[in-house]
Structure 1
Amino acid sequence: MKTLCANKVRMDTSESVASHSFQWQRGSYQQPVAGVGTRVDLFLDDSRMKNFTTCFKDPQFLVMFFSRLRPNRSGRYEAYFPFLSLCGRERNFLRCEDRPVVFTHLLAAGPAPQRLSYCGGGEALAVPFEPARLLPLATNGRLYHPAPERAGGVGLVRSALAFELSACFEYAPGAPELPSHVRWQGRRFALTMDLAPLLLAAPPP
């Protein structure tokens, strides 16, 4: 009989805690006073010290972990660990401050459509960049983008990248709180806001 190993994992990103206490204002995306983090850190949940030396850093492991991420419907720890990654006989239960997918950077532009990379996976963890579906959420000042369906369908854009993208937003007259359009590579797109129901209906713990 094979034994399943259950690991409880916490995803700690300053992107989804301190770095997103922002306010949307016409023509600007206000950064917090605190420093802006740039990493997506993954720890065993019971680690006493959570810092760069104790987090998972192996790129191959991170790609495997995040590519197998899905909602936790295993019947175990669902309320406390809403996501699950199956790695062989191991069950890795994950909790995070906001979304498990954190978009870190745009990959270099080329002849193919531009792609948005997440969780430090480079080309191995990337989705097509859809500027019209960027979602600036007024309730928390964070920016979101479509993510793989298996990982919840919505990902958080890290603060530094959100700040860069904010320069492309346009605001409707008399509505300075949130942008209505985005300009990208010479084209103007109306923001669809179609991700809002996914975030507002069932936000992760």
Structure 2
Amino acid sequence: MLVLRAAALSCRALTALRCLSCGYTACRSTATYIQGQSPEPRIREYFYYIDHQGQLFLDDTKVKNFVTCFKDKEFLVFFFSRLRLNRSSRYEEDFPFLSLCGRERNFLRCDDRPIVFTHLLHSPAGPQGIIADQELLSYCGGAEKLSVPFRPEALYMHPISGRLYHPCAEHSGGVGLVRSALAIELSTFFVYPADQSQSGQPKHFLWRGKKRTLTNELSRLFFPAEGGRGQHGDLG
């Protein structure tokens, strides 16, 4: 495991993803690489993987769990704030996302989506002009420094996988996965049509005493035949 130092942060690359009909689907990479390889002078390449709980690992870590994931907040903020779609002409098929950090190319693959929302926060003075006491969804271990305003009406429960999603920045794919533990908490506020069971699609979200009609605006970012990543359970 690389030792990360706050005084000299350096991103490491993101691991392999394949873009299939169900969105960004985790597959074992068919690409050949060596962590820290130098394909040209003064350039280094590293490879990472993010799971459906929002934990970041070096791609070739054999045992991926809370012990082996990256937990340094400053590093995670540095890494994910630079995350973009991979348009580098290198590893694009296997590594759809890229975080450029100086002369380091950091490639990422993910279990579902590269942005995974993990906590609902209140911020007295949040980033990006967020007003006082606004609710935030925090992602990938960055607390309020990696967050977006919470939009309850924009939550989208996938009709096949049952996984829950929320909008994120367009450069990160436009849609983030809600971690299972948080998704289960939020699911209690969904309102279903009277003639429909909770196995169907919710129509409203009851939040802070207000019944909000779900926009389902994220449905456009999924292919019609998508099946989601349902093998991890109905809610992530």
Q: Once the two structures are aligned, what percentage of the paired residues are identical?
A: 55
- Residue number among 75, 85, 93 corresponding to 1:79 in the alignment: 93
1:186 paired to 2:204: no
Extract unaligned runs of 5+ from structure 1. 16-39
The structural deviation recorded for 1:199 is: 2.3
Residues 109, 201 of structure 1: CA spacing in aligned structure 2 closer, same or farther, 3 A cutoff? Answer: same
SS, match of residue 153 in structure 2: helix
The match for 1:62 is 76
SS, match of residue 195 in structure 1: helix
1:130 paired to 2:151: yes
Residues 49, 109 of structure 1: CA spacing in aligned structure 2 closer, same or farther, 3 A cutoff? Answer: closer
1:114 paired to 2:157: no
Quick one: distance in 2 between partners of 1:50 and 1:135? 28
Residues 191, 68 of structure 1: CA spacing in aligned structure 2 closer, same or farther, 3 A cutoff? Answer: same
- Residue number among 19, 22, 45 corresponding to 1:6 in the alignment: 45
Provide the alpha-carbon RMSD of the alignment.
Answer: 2.2
The match for 2:234 is none
Extract unaligned runs of 5+ from structure 2. 1-39, 125-131, 230-236
The structural deviation recorded for 1:70 is: 1.0
Counterpart of 1:130 in structure 2: which amino acid? R
Contact 2:46 2:106 in 1 (8 A): yes
SS, match of residue 6 in structure 1: strand
1:80-110: per-residue Cα shift (whole Å, max 9, x none)? 1111111121110000010011101110366
The match for 2:181 is 160
Residues 109, 183 of structure 1: CA spacing in aligned structure 2 closer, same or farther, 3 A cutoff? Answer: farther
Quick one: distance in 1 between partners of 2:134 and 2:201? 27
Residues 164, 9 of structure 1: CA spacing in aligned structure 2 closer, same or farther, 3 A cutoff? Answer: same
1:92 paired to 2:106: yes
The structural deviation recorded for 1:198 is: 0.6
The structural deviation recorded for 1:173 is: 2.6
The match for 1:151 is 172
| TM-score of the aligned structures, taking structure 1 as reference length | 0.80
- Residue number among 29, 51, 58 corresponding to 2:65 in the alignment: 51
Residues 196, 63 of structure 1: CA spacing in aligned structure 2 closer, same or farther, 3 A cutoff? Answer: same
| TM-score of the aligned structures, taking structure 2 as reference length | 0.70
1:195 paired to 2:234: no
Residues 173, 193 of structure 1: CA spacing in aligned structure 2 closer, same or farther, 3 A cutoff? Answer: same
Which 10-residue stretch deviates more, 183-192 or 168-177? Answer: 168-177
1:29-72: per-residue Cα shift (whole Å, max 9, x none)? xxxxxxxxxxx322221233333343222111111111111111
Counterpart of 1:181 in structure 2: which amino acid? H
SS, match of residue 117 in structure 2: strand
Larger relative CO (CA 8 A, sep 6+): 1 or 2?
1
The structural deviation recorded for 1:2 is: 5.5
Quick one: distance in 1 between partners of 2:225 and 2:117? 20
Contact 2:94 2:109 in 1 (8 A): yes
The match for 1:31 is none
Quick one: distance in 2 between partners of 1:49 and 1:133? 35
Which 10-residue stretch deviates more, 44-53 or 124-133? Answer: 44-53
